[in-house]
Chains A and B, each alone.
Chain A
Amino acid sequence: MPSDPRIELALRAVAAPIDRYRSAVVTTVEEVRGYLASHRSPTESGDGNTAARLGAFAAGRIDYARFATLLTEAPDDPERLRKVEKAFDILRVIAAGDEDLFKIKVKGGARLGAAVAKRLAEMGRGFAAARVAGMATAGSLNSGSAEELLAPMAFERWSAAERRLAPPLVVELEGADLHAGDLVEFMDGNVKILLLVNGESTPAPLAPLITPGTFVLQTGDDTGLGRFAEHEGPAVAALVPEDAARFIHDPARGANLWDRIEIYHAPEKEPRRSVGGRSVSQQKQELQQLLAMGKAPVEAAASVADAAPVTAVAPSGPVSNQVDKLAAWLLSQADLENIG
């Protein structure tokens, strides 16, 4: 059992995605087991195998030996069988793996992205193995050595379907090593990454990951973890220190950015020292960005109006966004109380 209660909490949160992944792997294991059972042993490839394929209804009604002579499959060549057997072993190891398979601890000073990429690539061997098994059963496994086909498979090589079946990861790391950019490439399919942040972190380290389809959560407890696990799409969450912001960006909550973001705790104190190479100024901007994203246009426009020197700066966002803000500001200036 994990000694850190946060790890326990995190593993509980990703239990359902782990079950889904395991279920997919176990199903594949059984399919490959069936393939091997029917192709591996010369004794099994005779009557017993024919009987198994025909099912119980055929018992006593079909002469298996005669029926077997009609099955047109060419005998498997040993090399192909070896590949499938190796794929089977890989899948069985993954299917039998305990929860450690879904946990990573990033050493202090190491890159988060590299650690995640390495673990996903290792788990990608399961997908590679499933591909090999699929090719074998479809009769198209002809070229490539087992080592080539069954090597760790980087996330960038995963198909869309495989990304939808991605295993969840619980990653423990120092706050100083939490660089959101490291995770951008993994935010696809149904990838779920839950970060356990130790020590000091920046106030809104995950804010840069907010995109319309990505569930992003910073929390100090189990708030939002249920929605994180259930989200149909990529999701990242972090259990952050007390002085960091806490917010949920849930794509299911609406089309507008401000509808999707719920900030339920903003740090009272401003950052005072650099963390992990990010300066105080950078940390402030990170937090301002989060707060701005969470505001509806009227509020945003009003705050823009209050800070006149900033409005003088040339707009840097998309034109449509600036137009929206301007429209909202004009609306806020109009006296609507006397109308009608």
Chain B
Amino acid sequence: MATKSKTAGKGTRKRAKDEGREIIRVSEHTAEIVSDSGEGAQKCGQIFGAVCAKMGNGAWTVEIIPAEIQPPPRSKAGGSGNRVRFGTERITNWGDATNLVVAFNEQVLLGRHELDALADDAIILLENMWATHPDPDIQQQWKEALEALSTRNYRIIEVPMEEECLKIVEDPRRGKNMFALGLFAFIYDRDLELIRAQIAHQFRKKSEEVYARNVLLMEAGYAWADANLDFRIEIPTVKSDQPMVVMNGNEAIGMGAVAAGMELCSMYPITPATSASHYLSDVFDKFGGVVHQAEDEIAAVGVAIGASYAGKVAFTITSGPGLSLKQEFLGLAVMVEVPLVVVDVQRGGPSTGLPTKVEQSDLLAAMFGQHGDAPHVVLAPATIEECFHSMVTARRIAETFRTVVMVLTDANLATGVQPFPRPELDPRWQQAPVSLSPIPEGKPAYDWDPRTGLSSRRVPGQKDGMHTATGLAHNEWSKVAYDPESHERGCRMRSRKIAVLQHTLRAPEVYGEESGDLLVVGWGSTKGAIEEAVDRARAQGLSVSSCHLTFLSPLQPGLKEIFRRFERVMTVEINYSDEPHDPFITDENRRRAQLCLLLRAHTLVDVDCWSRVPGQPLRPGFILNAIRERLAMGVGV
């Protein structure tokens, strides 16, 4: 039953009739599917997102994941699914609100409604079996939910998904997702051959029968929509003139590791990092690599350090709690000057926190989590494409500087899917990591260049390179040395390397005008949302620019100079900060967002911050509101 006929979407809306059906033309749309956990909504969304990208739409998908593995069914907090924002142009973030949603029950839908995730005029395709459910409580819940939903301008279309799926399968819980895929396919006029191919890919490890059944279900959804819906939504596709690939951030990290010539991924499973090692487990051995699942997080990093010490290219991957456990060993790697890449896929914390949800709250732990002085490199890719390429750069920096390089991604990048140009592989990425030339006579284990702190790498078995590796304070011969000069010198040399790396970095680019009233500074996965918010603000006549940092340790040069060109500087981050007007909060005791804290310390500029920890990516609209709010507070740093 269609209650309204309005639809929404960004861009110019043109309407035309095609055989009595309304065709809504928009430049982009956000569609989502939401169900109870275990009903396959994520799979549906993944297939749909990949098909959109392969057809030539810009796309960005975000998984809707409950915090619990198996939350109670029909609960508002238990919704699981996928949100796909796609359009004619490149899409860089998940946007503000969903324009069309397929929901398997009214409770998960209500959850999305209460999170303000749906546009005011969203189209809702809702499973209607609950309206006539034998349980009167469920019928009552249905009525109450629809009443709550009626406060908005939604157009609700009831769909007999259960009834239709029962014509094909005995258990519709294992089929509704493909029926929903068929609904999407019809509504957005997607290429059915591409969808079938994507279904085949998704179920490549299952039997032909499973594939055929899923295709039948998808086709049934398509046919139902064709027979019952009075509208379609047209989003023009533009085929890229260069080959594109579609993947999520964890796959990009895994593929980047292969491309970078890495030989060992030593890990312990942890959400949301695990899927990267799952991906590598499937492909790594074909390229001579090994995935080692250690007995715990500490052992995992220990194995990686050992392999690297022996001359292999090793990395480890983890998330917040795992990073905490690895800290002592990371100090060892810095102390022994073993090259090591550490990928931290950030999630909500502290403690177990929000395992499946996004946060950017590991920055300070990544930089300063080790005891003593353990200078190392921290960088943060901002897009899924950068997840791939960052692994090549991380390896090269780790080996050139004989140090730890941490790559900070997050759950948003890890599970989001985005198309990007297929990387052109270069064999030089895979260059052998060590030289086995004999060590010239008289050369110590750490032949530190006093100017740069750099030294050439020694590996076991190298002629005349024998030494004892120790985490104890040591001199250049790697002999344990407690004298003041040796420790001072070792610390200075290790620190000098970071300064030297900073010397090779370029100042970050400013997005927008080079000066103005407000500069928004971000890092990591928020780039797309920040830049979209800046674009909207500028379109409204506001003098706003942004600057996105990828090197966080060392920070890129020139920041102070850039900041001085703006009246106000504000970081936007997904980690906690006190609001300036909260009770007891003063300028003196206010806990600021993590990058903000760093920037204040490094530049002595009074950098402000706006940060949130909703367990979701930031919406451009919310950032825009924050920009307006900060500008309304007046200018002046």
Complex contact A63–B436 (CB within 8 A): no
List residues of chain B with CB within 8 A of the CB of A58: 393, 396
* Residues of A with C-beta under 8 A to B429: 52-53, 55
Name the residue on A nearest B401 (C-beta).
A70
Query: Is the CB–CB distance between A139 and B436 below 8 Å?
Result: yes
Q: How far is the CA of A66 from the CA of B92 in the complex (A)?
A: 32
Q: How far is the CB of A4 from chain B (nearest CB, A)?
A: 36
Q: Give per-residue flags for A69-103: 1 if the beta carbon is below 8 A from chain B beta carbons, else 0.
A: 01111000000000000000000000000000000
Among A33, A52, A54, A138, which residue has its beta carbon within 8 angstroms of that of B432? A138
Q: Which residues of B contact A61 (CB under 8 A)?
A: 505-506, 508, 550-551, 556
Q: Are A63 and B505 in contact (CB under 8 A)?
A: yes
In whole angstroms, how far apart are the Cα atoms of A31 and B425 in the complex?
A: 12
Q: How would residues 112 to 138 of chain A score, 1 for a CB under 8 Å from any chain B CB and 0 otherwise?
A: 000000000000000000000010011
- A56-B423, A61-B506 known; A37 and B428 CB under 8 Å? yes
B435 touches A55 (CB 8 A): no
- Size band of the B side of the interface? 35 or more
What bracket does the count of chain A residues touching chain B fall in? 20 to 34
B587 within 8 A of A: no
* Inter-subunit contact A37/B427 (CB<8 Å): yes
**Residue B437 lies at the interface, judged by CB distance under 8 Å to chain A:** yes
CB distance from B508 to the nearest CB of A (A): 8
A-B contact count (CB 8 A): 92
CA distance A136 to B550 in the complex (A): 35
- The residues of B that contact A34 with a CB separation of less than 8 Å are 426-428, 430-431
List CB contacts (< 8 Å) of A44-62 with chain B.
Answer: 49, 52-58, 60-62
Least CB separation from A68: chain B residue: B504
Residues of A within 8 A of B389 (CB): 55-57
Q: Say yes or no: B427 contacts A30, CB within 8 Å.
A: yes
Assess the A62–B426 pair: CB atoms within 8 A.
Answer: no
Q: Is the CB of B503 within 8 A of A54?
A: no
Query: Which residues on B sit within 8 Å (CB–CB) of A321?
Result: none
With A35-B431, A61-B506, A61-B551 as known contacts, state yes or no: A55 contacts B400, CB within 8 Å.
Answer: no
Within 8 Å of chain A (Cβ to Cβ): is B513?
A: no
Is A3's CB within 8 Å of the partner chain B?
no
A53 to B431, CA, bound (A): 8
Contacts of B506 in A (CB 8 A): 60-63
Chain A residues with CB below 8 A from B401, complex form: 70
Query: Would you call B426 and A52 a contact (CB within 8 A)?
Result: yes
Which of A30, A34, A61 has the most chain B CB atoms inside 10 A of its CB?
A61
Distance in angstroms from B438 CB to nearest chain A CB is 8
Q: How far is the CA of A35 from the CA of B428 in the complex (A)?
A: 7
Q: Does B390 contact A (CB under 8 A)?
A: yes
**Interchain CB contact under 8 A, B434 and A138:** yes
Which residues in A have their C-beta under 8 angstroms from that of B550? 57, 61
Chain B 424-465 near chain A by CB (<8 Å), digits 1 or 0: 001111111011110000000000000010101000000000
> Is the pair A60, B509 in contact by a Cβ cutoff of 8 Å?
yes
**Among the listed A52, A62, A137, A139, which residue makes an inter-chain contact with B505, where contact means beta carbons less than 8 Å apart?**
A62
Contact flag A54-B392 (CB < 8 Å), given A37-B428, A61-B551, A70-B400 = yes
B172 at the interface (CB under 8 A from A): no
Contact for B427 among A31, A67, A140, CB less than 8 A = A31
Q: Are B393 and A140 in contact (CB under 8 A)?
A: no
Q: Give, as a whole number of angstroms, the nearest-CB distance from A91 to chain B.
A: 13
A66 and B392 CA atoms in complex are apart in Å by 18
**Contact check: which of A49, A57, A63, A71 meets B400 at CB < 8 Å?**
A71
- A38 and B436 CA atoms in complex are apart in Å by 18
**Does B381 have its Cβ within 8 Å of any Cβ on chain A?**
yes
Q: Which residue of B lies closest to A64 (CB)?
A: B504
Please tell me if B500 contacts chain A, counting CB pairs below 8 Å.
Answer: yes
25 examples of A-B residue contacts, CB within 8 angstroms: A34-B427, A34-B428, A34-B431, A35-B431, A38-B428, A52-B426, A53-B429, A54-B392, A55-B396, A57-B381, A57-B392, A58-B393, A61-B506, A61-B551, A63-B505, A63-B506, A66-B504, A70-B504, A71-B400, A73-B435, A137-B431, A138-B434, A139-B437, A140-B437, A142-B437
Interface, chain B (partner A; CB < 8 A): 260, 379, 381, 386, 389-390, 392-393, 396-397, 400-401, 423, 426-432, 434-437, 452, 454, 456, 500, 503-506, 508-509, 550-551, 556
Write the residues of chain A forming the contact surface with B, with a CB cutoff of 8 angstroms: 30-31, 33-35, 37-38, 49, 52-58, 60-63, 66-67, 70-73, 134, 137-140, 142
List the 5 closest pairs (A to B, CB-CB), nearest first.
A34-B427, A139-B435, A55-B392, A57-B389, A139-B437
